[in-house]
């Protein structure tokens, strides 16, 4: 029987572009990678712009507002750390600027979520190192 189950909350590994992304979250300043030349957002970060092929990137601020795109409500925990949060919705939110990210929408029962529902960011300082950008109804 397999026993290789993660019990701990799985935090992002803060290195490379992930560290840059989460450093902005820590400063309560949600930003996404954007091509410095053609200004197209991309998420998760990658080295090359697939439109203009520039490798120059910048971390562009977003308004922090967007809409619910889709979601799921995990009810069988992937690790013990999530049990106390359940049920929660793992939501894909589409920022007004275009990129979509995986997040939580809090402050509303998950069975009242609707596709297209407007949401705005808030910051959950989970640990001294990691802040998660979460959302609530706008």
Closest CA to 88 of 99, 72, 100: 72
| Near another protein in 14-53, by CB under 8 A | 18, 21, 42-44
Question: To 5 degrees, how large is the angle CA 16–CA 100–CA 35?
Answer: 55
**Residue 112 binding another protein, by CB under 8 A:** no
Q: Report the residue from 61, 85, 96, 129 that binds another protein according to the rule CB under 8 A.
A: 85
Which sign does the torsion angle of CA 109, 114, 117, 122 carry?
positive
Residue 60 in the binding site for another protein (CB under 8 A): no
Cβ contact 30:65 at 8 Å: no
Does 13 bind another protein (CB under 8 A)? Our answer is: yes
Q: What residues line the site for another protein (CB under 8 A)?
A: 1-2, 4-6, 9-13, 18, 21, 42-44, 69-79, 82, 85, 88, 90, 92, 99-104, 110, 115, 130, 132
């Amino acid at each position: 029987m397999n026993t290789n189950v993660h019990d701990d909350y799985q935090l992002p590994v803060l290195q490379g572009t992930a560290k840059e992304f989460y450093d902005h979250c820590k400063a309560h300043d949600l930003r996404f990678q954007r091509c410095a030349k053609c200004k197209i957002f991309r998420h998760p970060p990658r080295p090359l712009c697939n439109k203009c092929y520039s490798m120059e990137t910048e971390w562009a601020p977003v308004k922090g507002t967007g809409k619910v795109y889709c979601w799921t409500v995990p009810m069988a925990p992937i690790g013990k750390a999530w049990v106390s949060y359940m049920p929660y919705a793992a939501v894909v939110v589409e920022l007004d600027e275009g990129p979509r990210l995986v997040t939580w929408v809090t402050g509303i029962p998950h069975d009242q979520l609707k596709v297209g529902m407007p949401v705005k960011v808030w910051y959950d300082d989970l640990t001294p190192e990691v802040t998660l950008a979460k959302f609530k109804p706008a």
